[in-house]
Structure 1
Amino acid sequence: MTARAMTQHTEKLADKWGAHFPAAELEVLAAAGYGARMGFGERPALLVVDVTYSFCGTSPMPVLDAVRANRRSCGAWAWEAVGSMRRLIDAARTAQLPVVYSTMLDPGDAAYEPGLWGAKNARGKEDSPAPAAGPRRDNDVVDDIRPAPGDLVVAKGKPSIFHGTNLLDHLIARGVDSLIICGGTSSGCVYASAVDGFSHNLKVTVVRDACFDRVETPHWASLLDIDMKYGDVIGIDEAVAHLGGLTCRVS
């Protein structure tokens, strides 16, 4: 890389990530060549990761209040992201692209195996196979972006949407070559799914406005790491514009 190209690359990373990370760290990443733009694939699928009442809560309350009510909830931040997800989902359906939702396996499901989840959370004993009060269960997708007929809903037991599921078979059958990912949490299931998508040689795009977490530091660190090594992190307007451009290729 020429000196001029290196300077330009460093400036691009600073413009994109400078509000969240020290310039010296971004300079190191640029010098190592990370953060090149991968670009979109020809036939994407939209993955909507774990946008459930468990992770969003039942209303957009402050996050500390939200986690006191439900240890997984991300509070108001999750509900802010749902609006951007709605735009993404509408654009994907207009383009007739596959839309895939994930939820966590419910503790009451016969296939549920907690594994080591409880070892990393002091409140893990609060998980219960009993149905949640009222018409909703924790692992239902929120009504604002509920799945439509023909959408795939994947129940998973681990962070990645690929782990132990039939998702890859579903994508291959539909000729999918790339993923556009949204949902939560950025540092957990979104990150794990993005890395696994990359590992299956699928081009990965993550829409930052349509992702959420409980706290900001792991949110931004995970998005940066994806953008440096595993895919492209972009804004909602660019994602919707790209999906809108695909409609001309739908027969």
Structure 2
Amino acid sequence: MEKEIFDLGLLNEAFKKAREIHMSRGFQKRVGYGKRPGIITVDLANAWTRPGHTFSCDNMEEVLPAVLSVLDAARAKNVPIFHSTTAYNPNGYSDIGRWADKIPLETLKMGEDWIDIDTRLNPQPEETVFVKKMASCFNGTPLQYWLTTHGIDTLIVMGATAGACVRHTCMDSTELGFRTIVPEGTIADRIPGAVEWNLFDIDAKFGDVEPLETVINYFSTIEAFEKRESESTVL
């Protein structure tokens, strides 16, 4: 096994000092929770969650159970849950865009099992699954419309990757007026330090990175959503 040369302890020490600087200048305030949460899982499809794909992420054996614990707490209150995946039409890739000039999007092919939401998250029939083409779950999708239709004021973001799709979804969520919450332990990436750095920066500027148990306990404080049996949407 290759020796680990990444020193996470040094990074955490740097973050400790950086937090002091931020807080002395008025950064890292708390957004807090609202009364009507929604959940978005970002690209927790097989291409990210299982080994063997170009987009495979690390530590999924820890991340997925943490995500599931939040989902189960939310399901008990019928909280609206949305699952995103990213895929492109292999018949010419006319929908792939300039992002493919930077990363291997051509490996995310519509119709393959790789783009299906990981079954370990136990997605339910009434939960919305949708395909996006860019990093943010809001970019070119109806997500904002769905959230406002449900009266959502708080968006809980979980998934992959920290440095791209999760980060951009959090940024857009805040810019669109939602309280943005990221539970610790529910975010993945492919390289050492990416999760830690991006969660540090999200917590400083765009949303609240919260302990997992705090987020789970939050659901016990809200009123249950009305169950809509005909709500399932699969695009």
Q: Same fold (TM over 0.5)?
A: yes
Q: Given the alignment of the two structures, is residue 41 of structure 1 paired with residue 23 of structure 2, yes or no?
A: no
Change (3 A) 1:241 1:109: farther
1:14-43 deviation line (CA, Å, top 9, x unaligned): xxxx83534432222112111111100110
Aligned partner of residue 215 in structure 1, secondary structure: coil
Secondary structure of 2:139's partner? coil
Match of 1:199 among 168, 175, 190: 175
The answer to whether the 8 Å contact 1:54/1:72 transfers is yes
Instruction: Work out the number of aligned pairs and report it.
Output: 216
Q: Which runs of 5+ in 2 are unaligned?
A: 1-10, 227-235
1:164 aligns with 2:140: yes
1:125–1:178 Cα change, 3 Å? closer
Tell me the TM-score normalised to structure 2 length. 0.84
- Residues 119-148 of structure 1: CA distance to partner in whole angstroms, max 9, x if unpaired? 213xx286274854xxxx111001111421
Larger Rg: 1
1:43-67, Cα deviation, whole Å (9 max, x unpaired): 010111110110112xxxxxxxx4x
CA contact 1:112–1:157 (8 Å) conserved in 2: no
Whether the 8 Å CA contact 2:87–2:109 is kept in 1: the answer is: no
Amino acid at match of 1:73: S
CA 1:24/1:228 → structure 2, altered by over 3 Å: closer, same or farther?
same
Structure 2 vs 1, CA of residues 170 and 110 (structure 1 numbering), >3 Å: closer, same or farther? farther
Give 1:61's aligned residue: none
Among candidates 190, 200, 208, match of residue 166 of structure 2 = 190
For 1:48 and 1:114, how far apart are their aligned partners in 2? 22
For residues 1-251 of structure 1, the aligned pairs below 5 Å read 19=12, 21-57=14-50, 66=51, 69-75=52-58, 77-108=59-90, 113-121=95-103, 124=104, 127=107, 129=109, 132=112, 137-247=113-223
Task: For 1:40 and 1:150, locate their aligned partners in 2 and report how far apart those are by CA, in whole Å.
Answer: 24
**CA RMSD after TM alignment:** 2.3
Separation of aligned partners in 2, 1:226 and 1:38:
12
**Partner Cα separation in structure 2 for residue 37 and residue 231 of structure 1:** 8
C-alpha distance in structure 2 between counterparts of 1:195 and 1:43, whole Å: 19
Asked whether the equivalents of residues 159 and 186 of structure 2 are also in contact (C-alpha less than 8 Å), the reply is yes
Rounded to whole Å, the distance in 1 between the matches of 2:187 and 2:94 is: 26
Q: Mark the CA change 1:244 to 1:106 in structure 2 (over 3 Å): closer, same or farther.
A: farther
TM-score by length of 1: 0.79
- 3-state SS in 1 of match to 2:185: strand
User: Quick one: which amino acid aligns to residue 100 of structure 1?
Assistant: F
1:114 to partner: Cα distance: 1.5
* Aligned AA (2:36): R
